[in-house]
Structure 1
Amino acid sequence: MGLLDRISSKQETTAPPESIDLGAQGELLVVWPDGPRVALPAAQLRDQCPCASCIEEGTGRKLLDPATIPADIRPVELHGVGNYAIQIRWSDGHSTGIYTWGLLRRASGLPPG
């Protein structure tokens, strides 16, 4: 299999959230255009980090051990990435994950939208 066989040219078409805020417990409060408002626990999102330090690029195997995530993990900063994602700087110093709208919808338990 060649490199081009492994690269998907499909672009994500998930609509951006109407808003993303931080809750009192460090959760992300996301309001989607189709109505649902969801609270995503910080530890759940940190565990789903899609960066190359947390997920092996070639195989998709998870490298991050959930037991190493501090119980009091919190987002420290949120930055928009284009019109397709946010980047979160976490209280444990990690900041390389880019959370696409599709990833956030899946974490919310919602179908692509």
Structure 2
Amino acid sequence: MSDETTPVEVGPSEDGSALRIRWKDGAVSDYPPRYLRLMCPCAGCVEEMTSRPTLNPATVPMDVHPLTVEYVGEYALRFDWSDGHKTGIYPFDFLRDIALGT
């Protein structure tokens, strides 16, 4: 893993409205919960052969939020979402690629 894709801190933003990742290279990324849920890279949300999103945003509640956040090895995070979804694994390089405000 490079410094760009190595988190040194994962937790809520100061106001609790987003997931914040501080990266080893000094960058900070904030991820609003619904944005993260809509970006889920799992096979149920993205067509595997074309990478075309299949998740209908209208089916994701505006107030969706993670119930739990777990590390998957040293390479990813997994979320249990309030809408019942829990199959997505978010690799750190993917999270860095979709980062807002980095």
Which of the five TM-score ranges fits, normalised by the shorter chain? Answer: 0.7 to 0.9
Query: Which blocks of at least 5 consecutive residues in structure 1 are unaligned?
Result: 1-12
State the 1:101 CA deviation. Answer: 0.5
Q: TM-score of the superposition, structure 1-length normalised?
A: 0.79
* Cα root mean square deviation, aligned: 1.7
Q: Which amino acid counterpart does residue 10 of structure 2 have in structure 1?
A: I
Q: Equivalents in 2 of 1:109, 1:37: separation in Å?
A: 9
Query: For 1:28, which of 2, 6, 19 is the aligned residue?
Result: 19
CA pair 38-17 structure 1, distance change in 2 beyond 3 A: same
More strand by share: 2
Identity of aligned residues (%): 40
Q: Equivalents in 1 of 2:72, 2:88: separation in Å?
A: 11
Structure 1: 4+ residue segments shifted above 4 A: none
Query: For 1:61, which of 49, 52, 61 is the aligned residue?
Result: 52
CA pair 93-101 structure 1, distance change in 2 beyond 3 A: same
Aligned residues: 98
CA pair 110-72 structure 1, distance change in 2 beyond 3 A: closer
Query: Which blocks of at least 5 consecutive residues in structure 2 are unaligned?
Result: none
Q: Equivalents in 1 of 2:80, 2:6: separation in Å?
A: 20
State the 1:110 CA deviation. Answer: 7.8
SS of structure 1 residue aligned to 2:34: helix
Which structure has the bigger radius of gyration?
1
Q: TM-score of the superposition, structure 2-length normalised?
A: 0.86
Residue 85 of structure 1: aligned partner: 76
CA deviation digits over 1:4-62, x for unaligned, max 9? xxxxxxxxx4432101102422x111101111222111111101100010011122121
